[in-house]
Chain A
Amino acid sequence: MIVSKVLLPAIVAPLVAGIGAALATRLAYRITRKTPSAQSNSGFKYGQAFTASMVALAHGTSDGQKTMGVITLVLIAANLQPSGTGPPLWVIITAGLAIGLGTYSGGWRIMRTMGKGIVEIETPQGAASGAATSATILASAHLGFGLSTTHVSTGSILGSGVGREGAEVRWSVARRMMVAWLLTLPGAALVGGLAALLAGQGVPGVIALMLLLAGACLVIYVFSRRHRITHANVTDSHEVLVLAAAAPTAYDDDPRLEVPPKPKKVRRPKAKSAA
């Protein structure tokens, strides 16, 4: 069940979206080869706006529903809500707010990675990959496959890079994203398990858990401020940095990155214990 409905679609769907986007991109460029680029660009810009809105809507209905589903399931399991009823209004509003605010606050980093990091996106590619993403998510959701919009989007953006002649696809970025995805599954399981253990200790445990979560959010926020990405600089570079030390060596010669020199660690000789 898990393999058939979750794991396999998670691999197949980005692949399918990638193939669709590659074919669509190739055709889009071939069809408009003789069209003046100013006119084709403005046309595809409208197409991209429509397909991107479709992706956003599909994202809300698939990823938003998962969050609401989990909360509602807990409420029913805890006998706080009769079984057979839908999610209450406050759950719908908080899940919507959380997903919207999260995208609003962290979205610029994702935008840079998706729009420039993997491959430089031009408007025909944007329209084609948006169409492939929404088509794949819609078709999969119709058959009950659990999917992540980001996975599918990444697949179609990679595909649109393969489909456009002369596009430079940064496979290293895609590889890093794949590794990150693989790490999130056991990582989320571990954090979830530890959080459940802590929350099981009663009210003090729950309070401690909330404080820990808030602290973790604050740390992530502070780190993200170091290399801030806003609406003003989102298209300046293709690199998203979390820590300067994490900059890959391949980009060390890129002056836009300005990796500050590492401060020399002063080694304090430890007093050796006589053991």
Chain B
Amino acid sequence: MRVDWAALGIVAVVSIATSVIFTILLATGIRLVSAAKIKSNEGGSGTATVSLGYVLLGIAGLLVLFGIYLIVPQFH
């Protein structure tokens, strides 16, 4: 019996890293967009913060699209 530990290790590293990166992008995006909203309610300008927040959320969205690309065999 030969167990492919390397493959299991790759799965572990890739899975954990992807979930952590996705969640960091999502949470940071939410935090920035919310902070910008609060700032503009107080009369300040939150344009830079809000755009950075949406960029991060967009990257998270791209990760989702890449996942769909991987799942659906018709795409590759």
Contact = CB atoms under 8 A, between A and B. Distances in A.
B33 A135 contact: no
Interface in B3-45: 3-4, 7-8, 10-12, 14-16, 18-20, 22-24, 26-31, 33-35, 37-38
Contacts of A131: 18-19, 22-23, 26
B71 to A, nearest CB: 5
B27 to A, nearest CB: 4
Interface stretch (A2-10, A70-78, A211-219, A267-275): A2-10
A16 interface: yes
B59 interface: no
A28 B1 contact: no
Interface stretch (A136-144, A170-178, A229-237, A255-263): A136-144
Interface in A106-148: 124, 127-128, 131-132, 134-136, 138-140, 142-143, 145
Given A28-B23, A43-B33, A23 B8 contact: no
Chain A interface bracket (under 10, 10 to 19, 20 to 34, 35 or more): 35 or more
A39 to B, nearest CB: 4
A140 B34 contact: no
A8 B5 CA distance: 10
A20 B8 contact: no
Contacts of B64: 50-51, 54
B72 interface: yes
Contacts of A58: 71
Interface residues of B, number: 38
A162 interface: no
A23 B19 contact: yes
B68 interface: yes
A209 interface: no
A39 B18 CA distance: 24
A43 B26 contact: yes
A68 to B, nearest CB: 13
Interface stretch (A30-38, A92-100, A245-253): A30-38
A128 B19 contact: yes
Contacts of B16: 16, 19-20, 23, 132, 135
B50 interface: no
A16 B23 contact: no
Contact of A35 (B4, B10, B18, B34): B34
A205 to B, nearest CB: 37
A140 B11 contact: yes
A150 interface: no
Contacts of B7: 143, 145
B55 interface: no
A25 B19 CA distance: 10
B1 A4 contact: yes
A240 interface: no
A83 interface: no
A138 B67 contact: yes
For the complex of A and B, list the 7 residue pairs with the smallest distance between their C-beta atoms, beginning with the closest.
A43-B30, A24-B23, A20-B19, A31-B27, A135-B18, A132-B19, A20-B16
Interface of B: 1-4, 7-8, 10-12, 14-16, 18-20, 22-24, 26-31, 33-35, 37-38, 60-61, 64, 67-68, 70-73
